[in-house]
Structure 1
């Protein structure tokens, strides 16, 4: 709706979309004519499709397109459709020649004069676009608020970002076309403060977060090395019982934020922060690290390491021991030795696994497939590399869970086999036992599942995702009260916890017939789509027919082929009465 504010200026609330081609300069250098024609074809597609979604192309600039829409729903729907069409155009084209766009969307007022559009909302949209992965869509918190309950997509929280000349922090989300997979991605939880969680004194005293390490090097595609090193330091620290270690997912929310480490510590409610950078040049690496005591607001340790890249595993152990010593945690030498992981026989295998981790955490079908290819490359070099075996097992679990597997009837069997091999080759790695527990659970081998999870958490008592998975297993085994306690601990360790934790918590309340609490819990999901089955069943049992039927319709909107009987067969509950209660609730809702 236009509002006349002067003879020349008008204001309009709009959804603003920026799209920018990935690797434009590189592709122009390779083939100017082909690249120009490809961009021209895509811009024509943007223009032709925009009108179907109340949109209008305002301008183009070489490799970029600027559009406005009447609503956020229209803008996001358009963006998803355009990315699908571009993906189709790229079929059969080698990766280095594909035309890919990043898209950013914001909602806000624009000022319109006789010749142009102006306003901070436009600047924000253009900066959000830079956060998107190639072929993906990022949106602001304002857009998320408008679309999260209206569009059956998923939304991954990328953190509250600070933009130049913009006074307020801007929440940024990445859109997932598959809402189910988005239940595993980082969520926006506020406030993420220690005082909210009631930690005991020891946790506050020995609490720590390892921030993502910055990468400096000639080849940005090697940034996975810095991410992997930070993740490994986090894992090494989290295996000590005396530490309270913030999960990798929550730390990664700060990857692109220019925020002081002491402020991160306050947000996460921890005492210590590890911050650093990695420079890789050929066979050598330089790692600069510092350890901040946020309580005393001082750096208590800083070091720069210049090593051959082949020394990376010794360097990880050295960094871990220095951090432990600097924070005055007493660890016996025998425990340090017991907790040491088995390194691969080849550094190349380790590199493939680190690159795979960069894909698997994105939780898309294509990324999970790419991660598995990288893990296979690692295993081709070192067939006994336990970490690669466990990671590949996880990809099969994800494929099975979200119906991506080409052969779902054997996916869990293969996942189980890989997890068994992982624990056989390295009995000190919690990941293998976690995958073993998951595979056993969905094969309805309940005692074996719980035993595997218990072994995993003895090896890594700070792994929040393992806790969430084990809590789900406990709930399916009739031990929902224990599950609830474990999930609350997982949420303390992972303050930006994914919706999966909430889903598991809601399921535990449902099993205890605490339907009101189940509803309140599921309603806090960032991506509500996958929680609607529990909402429908809970409303059904409470006799709130209209609300139950409304949720049932939304279940069918997202999953038109949904079948109560099929879902009941997938549920891994130990006791038939738990399955029957859920089925009854769904049927009361009209499913």
Structure 2
């Protein structure tokens, strides 16, 4: 009797399904099926065929596809996700089809035109941990793809996959569309690290919270933020911004990889344990170019000593990487904005909410900043950050009509500037509030310039200055300042917002094609970015791409149903009337109502 031999082969397997399919079917069964059929016919099936893939089988909400090459599978996945994201611009948020995709390269069993085995199971499990609209790939697939795809990778670390015995390292594959305009803004692709600055460069990673209470995360984060702030005050150092450092929170990291991604030589990591009125902070400084440990220490004290503990860590780190700094520079860098521990605690809680940026979080941050200044009426950073909260509320359309928020913000700015002549955070946050809310651009520029002189590493100062320069009619200076902010915070979660700001500056300069490209990339990364959608609508209207402009305008309306032409000047307070007129003309063409 002939032996029945199983056919095995090495293949790249792509598994895909629709996120929230049952919910979508419950909302609109016929519409969901119709939309899925349209995606399959016009986008998904042709793209798979173009990349030499074979559809093995389909289910109601997903499919399994085999490729001979991991590169073909990845290129197909990126093209499909970009196409779906672009077509979804025409669809209301609650009715959008979003696919999750997983890719693995491994040994599969081929039988009766179907495929089986761990290679298939792993791809399916990776699809299950992908974000809606995202792509998750195995370490084996990433090794074959890297360097061959114009896309970025984000290391997810080891993942425990259901019914897979050993944890497997996984990666997110970005669908961000790259161009020469965006090359300087993107996170470096694997194997292409950012160039090291010409002075000692450092990133401070989030310290691990070893306290029994997970709610103490804000305290550990606050200690790290203050160490970053102190290091940032040294002009002789290049210090990565808080928002980029904190993208590594909760992940096991490879310090060498962090150094490549952030473009720094040194990395500081550590832990915080807070129990009753005692605190223990540990820190270790690592040379990211070779993994060598340069310094490590443990600091114990009472909570009332927390500022001293932070200073001890900062001084020892500085002494290890830049030992020739002047004593006066060290004293200036270690100056604290408050001596009140209770006020400081409220401030840390407020900043934690501020960084989350949702409407309710900004409201809670405002409440806590006010509590901080109630305990210390000279706390300049808290005054400035509270004023910035009001600017954020206006930008996002959250401020109440006819409210007194502008008057309150102006009061906070005066207190911030009065109490914080040497406080870069207070000056920069006051600058955006006084410029955006009151159109006092000259004073805003003065405050931003002082903040940048005090702390040349403060990414937020360069970011906010970019907006003020744009409103003032200096788009090229705006682009320069915004790109510097991106280099200081290269993997910032708010990077789409920075891209949108750069897009707005290019629109102001009349470079509509560049503005459109940047706005599109920002929208693909962050679909709820109001400014990106607004620039996409205006820039495409100016270049005659009215279909894309109209789709982007529908997104604008979804994000802010009350936005109309009469509010353009208020939300985009440009100094020059002709630029306001350009915005209004472009948005009118895109379909914004009067």
Under a length normalisation based on structure 2, what TM-score does the superposition of the two structures give? Answer: 0.72
Tell me if the contact between 2:448 and 2:461 (Cα under 8 Å) persists in the aligned partners: yes
Pair 296,398 (structure 1): closer, same or farther in 2 beyond 3 Å = same
Tell me if the contact between 2:427 and 2:450 (Cα under 8 Å) persists in the aligned partners: yes
Q: State the secondary structure of the residue aligned to 2:446.
A: helix
State the shift of 1:107 in Å.
Answer: 4.5
Q: Distance in 2 between matches of 1:189 and 1:263?
A: 16
State the shift of 1:582 in Å.
Answer: 1.8
Pair 589,106 (structure 1): closer, same or farther in 2 beyond 3 Å = closer
1:375-414 paired onto structure 2 within 5 Å:
375-406=369-400, 409-414=403-408
State the shift of 1:172 in Å.
Answer: 10
State the shift of 1:12 in Å.
Answer: 7.7
Q: What's 2:519 paired with?
A: 522
Q: What's 1:587 paired with?
A: 588
Matched, 1:70 2:64: no
State the shift of 1:416 in Å.
Answer: 2.5
Tell me if the contact between 1:15 and 1:69 (Cα under 8 Å) persists in the aligned partners: no
Q: State the secondary structure of the residue aligned to 1:168.
A: strand
Q: What's 2:255 paired with?
A: 261
Tell me if the contact between 2:549 and 2:590 (Cα under 8 Å) persists in the aligned partners: yes
Tell me which of 245, 252, 256 is aligned to 1:251.
245
Quote the RMSD (CA, aligned, Å). 3.9
Deviations 1:118-156 (A, max 9, x none): 94467557767xxxxxxxxx657239xxxxxxxxxxxxx
State the shift of 1:533 in Å.
Answer: 2.2
State the shift of 1:247 in Å.
Answer: 1.0
Q: What's 1:41 paired with?
A: none
Q: State the secondary structure of the residue aligned to 1:523.
A: helix
Pair 563,245 (structure 1): closer, same or farther in 2 beyond 3 Å = same
Tell me if the contact between 1:284 and 1:309 (Cα under 8 Å) persists in the aligned partners: yes
Pair 336,166 (structure 1): closer, same or farther in 2 beyond 3 Å = same
Q: Distance in 2 between matches of 1:12 and 1:122?
A: 5
Pair 391,552 (structure 1): closer, same or farther in 2 beyond 3 Å = closer
Pair 424,159 (structure 1): closer, same or farther in 2 beyond 3 Å = farther
Tell me if the contact between 1:415 and 1:435 (Cα under 8 Å) persists in the aligned partners: no
State the shift of 1:109 in Å.
Answer: 9.3
Q: Distance in 2 between matches of 1:564 and 1:69?
A: 43
Deviations 1:440-495 (A, max 9, x none): 21211111111111111112211112201101111211211111111221111111
Q: What's 2:66 paired with?
A: none
Tell me if the contact between 2:127 and 2:135 (Cα under 8 Å) persists in the aligned partners: no
1:50-449 paired onto structure 2 within 5 Å:
51-52=26-27, 70=61, 106-108=100-102, 119-120=121-122, 123=125, 139=132, 141-142=134-135, 160-162=155-157, 163-164=159-160, 165-170=167-172, 189-191=186-188, 203-406=197-400, 409-442=403-436, 443-449=438-444
Tell me which of 15, 19, 22 is aligned to 2:18.
15
Kindly tell me the number of residue pairs found equivalent between the two proteins.
481
Q: Distance in 2 between matches of 1:343 and 1:433?
A: 12
Q: Distance in 1 between matches of 2:28 and 2:426?
A: 47
Pair 544,15 (structure 1): closer, same or farther in 2 beyond 3 Å = closer
State the shift of 1:197 in Å.
Answer: 6.0
State the shift of 1:534 in Å.
Answer: 1.8
Q: Distance in 2 between matches of 1:193 and 1:428?
A: 40
Q: State the secondary structure of the residue aligned to 1:209.
A: strand
Q: Distance in 1 between matches of 2:517 and 2:129?
A: 35
Q: Distance in 2 between matches of 1:126 and 1:341?
A: 48
Structure 2: tracts of 5 or more residues without a match: 1-6, 8-13, 33-58, 63-80, 109-113, 137-151, 161-166, 176-184
Tell me if the contact between 2:102 and 2:125 (Cα under 8 Å) persists in the aligned partners: no
1:484-499 paired onto structure 2 within 5 Å:
484-497=479-492, 498-499=495-496
Q: State the secondary structure of the residue aligned to 1:491.
A: helix
Pair 407,564 (structure 1): closer, same or farther in 2 beyond 3 Å = closer
Tell me if the contact between 2:155 and 2:172 (Cα under 8 Å) persists in the aligned partners: yes
Moved more, 393-402 or 486-495: 393-402
State the shift of 1:584 in Å.
Answer: 2.0
State the shift of 1:244 in Å.
Answer: 1.1
Q: Distance in 2 between matches of 1:212 and 1:462?
A: 18
Q: What's 1:500 paired with?
A: 497
Pair 509,48 (structure 1): closer, same or farther in 2 beyond 3 Å = closer
Tell me if the contact between 1:140 and 1:170 (Cα under 8 Å) persists in the aligned partners: no
Q: What's 2:534 paired with?
A: 533
State the shift of 1:213 in Å.
Answer: 0.4
State the shift of 1:578 in Å.
Answer: 1.5
Q: State the secondary structure of the residue aligned to 2:298.
A: strand
Pair 517,125 (structure 1): closer, same or farther in 2 beyond 3 Å = closer
Under a length normalisation based on structure 1, what TM-score does the superposition of the two structures give? Answer: 0.72
Q: Distance in 1 between matches of 2:100 and 2:405?
A: 40
Q: Distance in 1 between matches of 2:208 and 2:448?
A: 33
Tell me if the contact between 1:533 and 1:552 (Cα under 8 Å) persists in the aligned partners: yes
Tell me if the contact between 1:471 and 1:487 (Cα under 8 Å) persists in the aligned partners: yes
Moved more, 537-546 or 305-314: 537-546
Deviations 1:527-551 (A, max 9, x none): 2552232222222322344443443
State the shift of 1:382 in Å.
Answer: 2.3
Pair 407,460 (structure 1): closer, same or farther in 2 beyond 3 Å = farther
Pair 346,377 (structure 1): closer, same or farther in 2 beyond 3 Å = same
State the shift of 1:235 in Å.
Answer: 1.0
Pair 348,122 (structure 1): closer, same or farther in 2 beyond 3 Å = farther
Q: What's 1:542 paired with?
A: 543
Pair 350,105 (structure 1): closer, same or farther in 2 beyond 3 Å = farther
